Amino acid sequence: MADSAAVGSSGIDYIDSLIYGRKWDGTALTYAFPDTAANVGYDLDDESDFTALSGGEQTAFEAILQQWARVSGLTFTQVAAADAATADISVYWYRSPDNLTARVVGFPDNSVEAGDIQLGSGINGGQLGTAGSYSHFIAMHEIGHALGLKHPHEAINGFPGDSGVPVELSVMSYVSYTGGSLGAYSIADGSYPTGPMMNDIAAIQYLYGVNTNALTANLGDTTYTFDPTASVIFQARWDGGGYDTFNFASYATNLSVDLRPGQWTDLGGQYATLETLDANVLPLGNIAIPYLHDGSAAHLIEAAYGGSGNDLIVGNEANNLLRGNGGNDTLRGGAGTDTLVGSAGQDTFDFSDGVASSNTVSDFTADDSIVLRDAVVGGIVRGDDGAALAQGEAGFAWNGVYNVLYVGLDATAGSDLQIVLANSTVFDNLSLSGNTISFIADTVAPVFESGSGPADNAVSVARDATPTLTFNEEVLAGTGDFIIYNVTDQTVFKTIAANSAAVSGWGSYQITIDIDPDGLTPLPYGAEIAIHWDESAVRDLAGNPLAENSSDTLYSFTANVRPTATASAADVAHTAAGQTSYSFAVTYSDADGTIDGDSIDTNDVTVTAPDTSTLTVTGVSWNAGSNTATYTVAVPGGNGWEEALEGAYTVSLVEDEVTDNHGDGVAAAADADSFTVDLTVPPTDPDPDPDPGPSLPPSTDTSVGGMDVATRYSIDSSGRQIETVTITPNGGQQTTQGVPLIGPANNPVLSGNLPSTVSITVTGPSATVANSALGGGLLAEVPSGIVLPQGASLPVLSTVNPDAPAEGLMRVITLTPSGTGDPGPIIIEGSPDSGQASAIVLDARGLPSGTVIQLNNVDIAIISGEVVINGGAGSTIVLGDAGNQNIVLGEGNDHLNGGAGNDTIGSATGSDTLLGGDGDDSVFGGMNADSVMGAEGDDILRGGKGHDSLDGGAGDDILYSGFGNDTLTGGEGADLFVLRGYDANFAGAALTATITDFEQGTDLLAVENASLAELETAIASQTATEAGVIIQVAGASLTFLGVAALTEADIDQAFYV
C-alpha cells in the first residue's frame, strides 16, 4: 500500500478548489475487488450489507479507473481479492441504509481504509459501463475522492471552496450547470460527462503529473473524429503529444470549434440535458479543451477540419492547420504560424485579433474576405514589402515563392502580420474597404517595375549577362518577343521569343532573359543595350497584356569594354651574353574593370626567334599594383645568348588568355613588341696608369634583366676580404627574377626577385664561417643604428635545422627605394643545392612601412625596419629589431623572435618556436605543435591546429586555445583565457586545453562557441580532481590546475556582451 503525502497550494483557483490536501505519495497505485467482508482489512458496521462486484462490474469499474490514468501520470495494477487490505483502492458493494449512492471510505492517508470505495443501492451495476449514465458518473466522482480530490464548493484543510463550479467543468461538482444551484443533480441520464472534465484534469495532473505512456497517452499524430449521429457528446479531450487533428468533416451543422485551452467546441446539437425541467438550459459546449499542464504546448490540438456547415474555427498558440471544408466558414488563427484553408464557400479569414504572426491562406478566391483589426489608413493596399508600414496600413509583395499581404499593427514602422496567399491571388485581386479585404476580378495590366542583374544604366556589364525583369505581379509568357537592341549603332542585336527556353521565371514576379544561351553570341564589346518587348510578350495571370516597350531608356545598360595590353621588351647587348633567361613586361589595362590576376600564366604570350622557332616561356610574375606581368623565357641552347641567333625576336599576345573581372579577354596581337639580340663588344680605352693594388678578385659589372649588378672587393681593417654587390635598376623591366645576391651567378647561395623600384647593397666577408659560429658572427656584423634586444643571441643553426650545411656566408643586405612605385614584393631565396648556409642582416629601414619581403630557404635573418616578412620554405631563425614587424613563415621548424616593438609573429606549418619579445605583440601558432610565447607587454597569443604550448609572460595577456591538446600559462599580470569550443568547420578538433596557472580574482576565462548560460551551467557541474577542476562545455574538456572550484565570478562577462 502506498504512503500518502501532504499537498501544497498551486496558486490556481480552478485547481485549488478541488484539492483535498493529501494525495498518494507515488503514481503506481494498486486496486482490488474483495470477495468477502473480511478481505477489506477493517470492520464494517454490518457485514451483511457487503457484496462483491461481479466480473462485468469489475471490468466496467476498471475502465473508469483508466479514464483517470489516461489523463495523468497514474497507473493502476490489480491485486488479488484476498490481498485487498494491502491495495490502495478497494471497491465493493455496501448497500447500507446510509449509503444511498456511493462514497469513499477515506481520502488518501496511511490507514487501511483510505481510498476504498463503497457502492450503494442507488448505483445500477449494469450501467457502470455506460458512459454518460448516472452510475458511471458517480463511480468516476468517487474515484476522484479516492485520489485526493474534494467537492469544489467545500473549503477543507485550508483549500478554498467555490460554489460556482458546475459539472461542465468538474465531475466533482454538485452544481448541474453554469449558474445552477448547489444540490441534487438535474441532469438527464445519458447526459453526464463521459470522463474527467477540464478542472479535474488540471487538478489530477497537478497531483500526479501527465501521462507519458506511449500506449495510452496518444503521444503521436492523432486524428480525433466524432459521430454526428450520437445523441449526446459531452467530454473534455486531452492529448499527450504529436500533431493532432479534430476532424468534423462528417458534420453538416454550423460548428464553433475553439482549440484554445479552457475553451469549448459547440457542435450545433448533441447537447447534454443539464436541466430536465428546462430545455433552454444548454451546456457550455460539447467538447472542452483542457488547460495546459505547466504551459506545455505539446498537449495542444494543432489542426481542425470543419464540416459542410457554416463553421467558425479558432486556433491556438501552435502552428495550426484550420480547414473549413464546405459552407461559408470563418477561420481565425492564433499566435502560431498558421495555415488557413477555406475550401468551398464564401469564407472569411479573420485576423481581427491583431496578433503579430506569419500565416498562410491557401485558397483566397472569389467571394472570400480577409478581416483585419484596423487596416483603414488610406483605404488602399500598397504594392510594397511592408518595410515602412504604419499602424493600419497594408502592403502586398512577392517573397520569391508566393504573394504576401503585409500588415502594420503598431506605431513602429514595418510589417507585424504577414499573410502568405499561397495560390494565384495577385495585387489587383484585392479590394480594401474599412478593415475587410475582398477578392475581386483582375482587369489591370501588369506593370514593369525594374531591371536587375545588371541594374538599369549599369556599365561594365558582362557580355553573357542574363538581365532580370521585375513586375508588380506574377506574369506568364505570351506569344510575342523580347528585342535586344544595340543603342550604340541603332540595330537589333537579337530577337528572343517570350515562350522560348531562353526566358525563365514565368509564374513569378521576375523573369530572366538568357541573351547568349549557346555561348556563341555574347553582347558586343562596349555597346549600350536596351531591352524592348512587344505587347503580346508578357501577360498577367488573368490574361491582361503588358504594354509594349520600345524605349531605349526604360531599361538599358552598357556591355563590358575589352581589356588591352602593351608589351615592353629591351634589346640584348654583349653584357648579357651569358644569361640563360630573358624577361620582358606586358602592361594590361581595362577601362571599366580590373584585370583578373588569376588568368596570368605562361600561356599568355609567345616569343618567336629570327628563324621562326618559338622560345619556351618558363615563368611569370604579376604586379597587381601596376597591372604588369613580367614573363621569363629560356634563351635558346641553354648556355646563353652566345649560342642563340642574333637578330629580331617578336613578342605576340595570345587571344583571350588574359581576362578581366568579367571574363572578357585581351585581343590577339601578332607583333605586340620585339627586341634585338646584338652581342657586338664596343671598343674600350686602355687603362693609362695600371695599378695592380692588393691581390683581390677582379671587379665585375653585368646586367640581369632589369638590374645592373656591380661586384667589388676590398680589405677591411681586420684584414678580411669584403665582397660588396651593388644592384641598381636600369629601367629594362618591372621585375627581375634570379638576381644573384651571394655566391656565383651559376650557383648562388642567395638570389632575389627584385622590383625596379628598389636598389640593393649586399656586403660581407668573402670567407665562409662554421655553422656553429654563424649566429654570433652575424650579430657582430649588425650596422650601427639597428637596435636589438639587450643581450640578444641567436640559437646555433644546427639545433634548429640539423640538415643545415657545415659552413655559411654572412651578409648585410641594405634595401633602398629607387623610385616612387610600390617597392614590393621582394623575394630573397636561398638555394639548398649551393652547399652553403646563409646568414643575413636585412636592413629595410629605408623602405615604406608594410613592404612585403619573402624569405625562402634563408637560414638566419636579423630584420630591421617595419616590414612584412613571409614565405618561409625551410627552417629559419629570425630576430627582429625595435620596429613593429609582421613575421609569419611557412614550412619548416622555425625560431622567430620579434624583438622589441609591437610585432605580429606567426606560423603556417612546422613545429615552431614563436616569441613576441618586448612590446604588445600578437603571436599565433600554425598547423603543428608550436611553442607560442609573449614576454613584456600585453600580448595576444593564439594556439593553432597542433598541440601547442602558450606562455604569456609578464603583462596582461589574452591567450586563445586552438584545436589541439593545448597547455596555457598566463604568467604575471591579469590574463584572459579564451578557450575554444566546438566548431562545425573543425569537427575533429581535440579541444582539451589545460590552464596551468589560473589565478582566481585576477585572471578571467571565456569559451568561444558557447553562450554565457552554457558556460555557467558547465561551471555549476564542474568535476574536482586532485590536480584541479575540469569543466565540459561546447564539446571541449578544459582543465584548470591548482583550482579548487571555479565560480561565475571567474567568467569575463564583457566577452559575452
Q: Are 977 and 998 in contact (CB under 8 A)?
A: yes
Element (DSSP H or E) covering residue 68: helix 55-70
| Residue 135 φ/ψ, nearest 5 degrees | -65, -45
Most distant pair of Cα atoms in the chain: their distance: 155
Element (DSSP H or E) covering residue 350: strand 348-351
DSSP 292: P
| Residue 960 φ/ψ, nearest 5 degrees | -105, 125
H, E, C per residue of 533-582? ECCCCEEECCCCECCCECCCCCCEEEECCCCEEEEECCCECHHHCCCCEE
- The β-bridge partners of 721 are 715
Q: Are 1003 and 970 in contact (CB under 8 A)?
A: yes
CA dihedral sign, ordered 531, 533, 537, 540: positive
Give the CA count within 13 Å in the CB-facing half-sphere of 280.
Answer: 1
Among residues 706, 702, 579, the alpha carbon closest in space to that of 642 is found at 579
Can you tell me the distance from the alpha carbon of 741 to that of 797, in angstroms, rounded to the nearest whole number?
A: 21
Which residue in the block uniquely carries the three cell numbers 634563351?
Answer: 635
Can you tell me the distance from the alpha carbon of 384 to that of 746, in angstroms, rounded to the nearest whole number?
A: 73
**Neighbour tally for 613: CB within 10 Å:** 10
1023: burial class by Cβ within 10 Å (0-12, 13-18, 19+)?
Answer: exposed
Take residue 686 and report the three cell numbers written for it.
686602355
List, by residue number, the catalytic residues. Answer: 142
Among residues 542, 530, 548, 380, the alpha carbon closest in space to that of 448 is found at 548
Q: Counting runs of H as helices and runs of E as strands, what totals does the chain give?
A: 7, 77
DSSP 271: -
Give the CA count within 13 Å in the CB-facing half-sphere of 654.
Answer: 13
Residue 732 Cα to chain centre, angstroms: 52
**Neighbour tally for 365: CB within 10 Å:** 16
| Residue 301 φ/ψ, nearest 5 degrees | -90, 120
Contacts of 48 (CB under 8 A, 6+ apart): none
Total length of the chain: 1057
Take residue 834 and report the three cell numbers written for it.
649551393
Question: First-to-last CA distance in the chain?
Answer: 56
Among residues 94, 95, 102, 98, the alpha carbon closest in space to that of 42 is found at 94
CA 449, 451, 457: angle at the middle one, nearest 5?
A: 120
Contacts of 147 (CB under 8 A, 6+ apart): 23, 24, 68, 74, 108, 115, 204, 207, 208
792: burial class by Cβ within 10 Å (0-12, 13-18, 19+)?
Answer: middle
Query: If you compute the radius of gyration of the chain from its CA atoms, what whole number of angstroms results?
Result: 46
Strands (E), 654-797: 669-677, 700-704, 707-715, 721-729, 735-742, 750-755, 758-765, 769-770
Among residues 734, 700, 694, the alpha carbon closest in space to that of 716 is found at 694
Which residue in the block uniquely carries the three cell numbers 589545460?
Answer: 994
Among residues 1042, 983, 977, the alpha carbon closest in space to that of 1009 is found at 983
